[in-house]
Each structure stands twice: as structure tokens, then as C-alpha cells.
Amino acid sequence: MRPASQPMPRALVALAALAVVLLAAPLLGLLWRTPWSRALAVVFDPPMLDALWLSLRCSVAAAMLALLLGLPLAAWLASGASRLRATVRVLVTLPMVLPPVVGGVAMLLAFGRNGLVGGPLERWFGLALPFTSEGVVLAETYVALPFLVLTVEGGLRSLDGRYLDAAATLGAGPWRVFRAVTLPMIAPSLRAGLLVAWARALGEFGATITFAGNLAGHTRTMPLAVYTALETSPDAAIVLSLVLVVVSAAVLFCLRRQWFPAR
Amino acid sequence: MTMDLHLDVELRRERLLLRAALQVAAGETVAVVGPNGAGKSSLLLAVAGLLRVDRGRIALGERVLDGGPDAPFVPPEQRGVGVVFQGHLLFPHLSALDNVAFGLRSRGVARGEARNAAARWLERVGLGAVHHGAKPAALSGGQAQCAALARTLATEPSVLLLDEPLAAVDASGRLELLRELREHLRRFAGPRVVVVHDIADALAFAERVVVIENGAVVQDGAIDELVGRPRSTYVADLVGLNGFVGVCADNHVRIGDVTLTVATPLRGDVLVTIHPRAVALFRERPSGSPRNVWTARAVDFEALLDRDRVRVRLDGALSLVAEITPAAVADLRLRDGGEVWVAVKATEIGVTPR
């Protein structure tokens, strides 16, 4: 037996259906045009493998860097309320809403060879970031960090602080409390944050191409390879796109508990 | 070495201003009762070092744990104050064994050694090896509370604080848990403080009861003192007496619109207590000249199973509880909801200056 409910107005149903079409059509288009017989050959083409391998390396490194820097930041943001925290939270959120290309341009000005930070970095340490794989990692970290920070901060805020109090009365200092109680108790948020940050890094395009360029084998990640291939061999672009779709879908599948709790 | 707990503090927390002085001797158990939000938990948190005092001091023997804002403050992890929190707060990601080993591990004891000690402690609170690997969620309320006690005792604290230790268990597990907790409290050599929410629990744990209301200690003494001379309406209610606040002038106490005649002449603010069994009920206005007479309606009945009595809540010029026999309830036709006359002898009314 179903509970009685008011029927939805037809106009709304039609609009909702339109939204579903808008979301589904690109996927169907991709499946429809995929050259299945040549798919494996395209993926295992050495330049494509290079792009895939570079993408994996850089996105994993970016996710780890985001964790290393983002976890302490999230902990600080969650540790109270203040004007400074509110300001920093805006700063954290900015890369989420900023067009990635703008982020790339801004990064070039900051970390470029003549940049605010990049200049001294090169003069004193001989470190150059633009147009290197490290540059890719930095650009990806820039766009992935907000996802990690906000997810982990949410986890920390919903953590019952009395557990931390209990740990302290048992003789645990702040560092042990953080390591042995806080971290295990927010493990689901950490996992989710890491996964979205990694997915965001894997898909990064705008900031990467602007800041790190499009050098095959060095900075040409999967999204850049798709974009490049679209001009020369559209079939390859389609197959690579499909690979990225599959990866994204797999991430969503892993996150289904956190994001789509069963009703 | 065992030391007494000395506490004389003032601390502000949200809307609460807690001002309390308390001494608990080594080997003594004090039960703290009070309404919700009165400051009981804040008191425990201050002793544990989880809240800082704004003024005053907390000391264990000669060792000052918190001397106010400009004085040394010993952080909770260095205090040696053991707390069994309300709702046990066992770490959900650790097994019962690792929960109990947590304190020792925090002090740098090797994993194997800490686990052995933890196993002995769990054994001692009645949790056998089958429960050692269980996550807290798999334990019953009573078992979890025992594991939490073992976790605290394993750190060998100098003071033991228990916050509502019986809150999480149902009636069937209560007696067993109570016996277990009392046994371990008795063996613990330092000062022990148990926060409870009713007088029965307070009696079960301690001879000495401290009542906190609105951030202040209103009464501190043995249970017969609380019953004999309750210092507030809350305490009177707690021990089952009717309590009112009034103003006394000689032999007359004014409580709202009602004036009662009392046997003891006093002046000023007083607490008036009337034992429920001293309240007499009549169908007609009683003849003779009892001076304290008014009308009321019965609004609620509660049977006392152990003494063949019924507690009747009466709504009237002065609302109170009377304890009468079931036969009287029928004779007076109280359940019909009609008016009855209430009478209390002057000599049955307790008056205490506030």
C-alpha cells in the first residue's frame, strides 16, 4: 500500500523530465558514438597511456597534498567561530566558484617565474613550477583543496567533543587525542573528502592548462588529452571521455552512503 | 597516597553562574543532586580540568589543580582525575579492551602490557573475555557503563567522578550495575563524587548528599538532615515532602493568597514543609477549629504499591500532595473530581528560615 500523496502538477513533471534529459543525453551521446571495436587500442596507445598515468600520479599527489594541508585547516576552522575563520572560509570556498581558468591565471601571477611567490622560489631554491608536473599537482591541489576542507570540517563539527574530553581525562595529550580519537572518529568524512578531492583533481582542466600548459608526457593530463585529441582524432577523445565518466561514476558509487543515504 | 579534594570556585558558563565550596575526604563518597542545568556537570568538568574556574581554587591535598585565571592550571591529562561520563562515552571505534587500554597507552605503556592490564580490569568489573573484542555498540547499557568504569580505574586516578552512572540502564540491569559500581567505589581510596538525579540514587551511593540549585550549594549533609530540615522546595520535593516558600510573621505564614497558622513563631522568609501523610481530607467542612482549612480538587492519583497508600495531587488555593488510603479515596469520591476540604494541623507544619 502506498501512502496517499498529492499528484504533482503536470507542468512540473514535464520540467523535471527535461532536466533528466539534459543530464542523460550527453552520456547517451558518448555511448552512442563510442567506437567500441577500437576502444582498447585507443586507451592502450602509448601517448594516451602516458596521459592516463600522469593523471593518476598527479591527482593522487594532489589529493594527498590537499589532505596534508587541508586537514589541519579544517581542524582550525572547526575549532571555533571568529571573524578570521569566516574570512578564511570564504577564501577556501573561492576556488569552488571561481572559473578554473581564472584560478590558473592567478596562480601564474603568484607562482610563475616572476610571481609573488614563484620569483623568490626560483631565485633562492632554483624551483620552477609553471609548465612542470609539479605545477600540475599544485594547480590540481588548488581546485581540490576546498572540497577536502569543507567535507572534513563538516565531519569535525558533527563530532561529539565530549569524546575528546574523555580522552583527555584518561591522560591523552592534545596530539594523541587528535591521532587516536579525532581521526578515527571522522574517518568517513576523511574518506569522502579525499575521494571528492581526488575526483576533482583528476578532472581538472582550466587551471592546469593555464598554469602548467599542455606538454605531452609532462603536463598533458587526461582532460587535456581529451581536449587535444578532439582536434586530431575525435574517436580517441570519445573513448578517453568515457574512461573519465566511468571513473567519476565509480567515485559516486563509493560515496553513495555519505551523499545519498537510503530513504 | 590519598588526598582530600578541596574546591571553592566561581565559574560562569553561558547563563549559569556556579559558586560552590565543597570538600570531599579521601575514601568519602558524596552524591550531588540538583535540577537540570543547576551546575552539577559544570562542577565535575571543573574538577576534571575541562572547564577553567573564573575565581577560586581546586586542590587535591596540597596540589593546586586550578587556581583561577592568573594561577597555574593543570591540564586534564595531567590531573589524575578519573571521570566516568554520562552515557559512558566509550570510543566507538575501539574494542572494549582497547578502550580500557587507552589510558595506559596514553602514558606510553606498550600495547601488549596495556592490553593485559585492561583485560584484568574488565575481568574485575565482571566483563569476561567474550566481551573484550566487542565494540561499545555491541555491549548492553550496564556492560558499557562497567567498561567505562574499568577504563577510568585503569588510569589509577586520585579522584573518581561519576556523572549519572545509572542513567543508561533499564530497571532490570539497574540493581546489578548499582551493586557493581558501589563495590568499586568502596574499594577506591580517593575522594569520590557521584552526580545523580534523584534521592534514591543518592542514597544508594552515599551517606552525604550535596544539593546544587541555580549554581549554588543549598544543602550539604546526611540524608536525615535533608528530610528533617530541607532547605529548599526542591529538596522537600526530592525527599517527598510538600514544600512552599512563604513569609512568616509570628505564627502566621503567608504563601501567595493563603495564610497558614504554624506552631513555631518566626519572622521573614521561610520554607514551609508538610508531610503528605499530615494532610487530612474531608467531604464537608471539618467541624471543630482546625485553623488551616481550604478547598481543593484531586487532579492526579499515584498508588504506592509497597504501603497500600495513594498519593493524591490536589489543586487548590494551596496545591499539594496528600497520602491517604485507597478506602479514603473511595469514601471521599475523590475520583469524581468534586471539591474536598483540606486540613493540616499547625503542629504538622515544618517551618525553616531561609
Q: pLDDT tens, A169-183?
A: 999 999 999 999 999
Question: Which of B85, B89, B106 has its CB closest to that of A171?
Answer: B106
Domain parsing of chain B, residue ranges = 5-231, 241-349
What are phi and psi for residue B261, nearest 5 degrees?
-95, 130
What number of other Cβ atoms are within 10 A of residue A145's Cβ?
24
CA distances from B215 to A10, A202, B119 (A): 61, 57, 40
Q: Has residue A241 been placed in a domain?
A: yes
Residue A2 pLDDT: 60
Q: Has residue A134 been placed in a domain?
A: yes
Indicate if the pLDDT at residue A10 is higher than 70: yes
- A185 in contact with B, Cβ within 8 Å: yes
Mean pLDDT of A118-147: 90
H runs (alpha helix) in A98-173: 100-111, 118-125, 133-157, 162-169
Q: pLDDT tens, A241-262?
A: 888 888 888 888 887 776 666 5
Asked whether the beta carbons of residue A172 and residue B81 sit closer than 8 angstroms, the reply is no
- A162 in contact with B, Cβ within 8 Å: yes
Q: Has residue A37 been placed in a domain?
A: no
- A40 in contact with B, Cβ within 8 Å: no
pLDDT > 90 fraction of chain A, expressed in percent and rounded: 60
Pairing of strands B293-304, B339-343: antiparallel
Q: Has residue A73 been placed in a domain?
A: yes
Task: Give the integer Cα–Cα distance in Å for B54 and B191.
Answer: 23
Nearest to A255 by CA among A182, A201, A186, A194: A194
Indicate if the pLDDT at residue A1 is higher than 60: no
Shortest distance between the Cα of A262 and any Cα of chain B, in A, equals 21
Pick the CATH number of B5-231 from 3.40.50.9100, 3.40.50.2300, 3.40.50.970, 3.40.50.300: 3.40.50.300
- A183 in contact with B, Cβ within 8 Å: no
Q: Has residue A16 been placed in a domain?
A: no
A237 and A230 Cβ atoms separated by less than 8 Å: yes
Find all residues with CB under 8 Å of A74, minimum gap 6, and list them. Answer: A148, A149, A150, A152, A153, A156
Q: Has residue A41 been placed in a domain?
A: no
Question: Which of A170, A176, A187 has its CB closest to that of B155?
Answer: A170
Q: Has residue A40 been placed in a domain?
A: no
Better-predicted residue by pLDDT, B2 or A60? A60
Residue A75 pLDDT: 95
Q: Which residue of A has its CA nearest to B50?
A: A165
Q: Has residue A7 been placed in a domain?
A: no
State the DSSP string of B220-275: EEEHHHHHHS--SHHHHHHTT-EEEEEEEEEEEEEETTEEEEEEEEEEEEEEEEE-
- CATH code for the part of the protein at B241-349: 2.40.50.100
Amino acid making up residue B187: R
Task: Give the integer Cα–Cα distance in Å for B42 and A15.
Answer: 55
The answer, yes or no, to whether ipTM is higher than 0.85 is no
Residue B163 pLDDT: 94
CATH number of the domain where residue A124 is located: 1.10.3720.10
Largest CA distance in chain A: 74
Question: Which of B50, B78, B105 has its CB closest to that of A165?
Answer: B50
Q: Which residues of chain B are modeled with pLDDT < 50?
A: none
Long-range pairs for A127-130: beta carbons < 8 A, 24 or more residues apart: A129/A211, A130/A211, A130/A212, A130/A213
Shortest distance between the Cα of B173 and any Cα of chain A, in A, equals 24
pLDDT > 70 fraction of chain A, expressed in percent and rounded: 96
Structural domain count, chain A: 1
Question: Which of B49, B77, B94 has its CB closest to that of A172?
Answer: B77
Q: Which residue of B has its CA nearest to A176?
A: B106
For A211, the domain range is 47-259
A127 and A52 Cβ atoms separated by less than 8 Å: no
Better-predicted residue by pLDDT, A224 or B335? A224
Q: Which residue of B has its CA nearest to A175?
A: B106
Residue A183 pLDDT: 95
Q: What is the dihedral of CA B264, B265, B266, B269, to 10 degrees?
A: 70
What number of other Cβ atoms are within 10 A of residue B27's Cβ?
13
**Which residue out of A169, A178, A179, A185 would a mutagenesis test of the B interface target, given it has the greatest number of B Cβ atoms within 10 Å?**
A169
Residue A208 pLDDT: 93
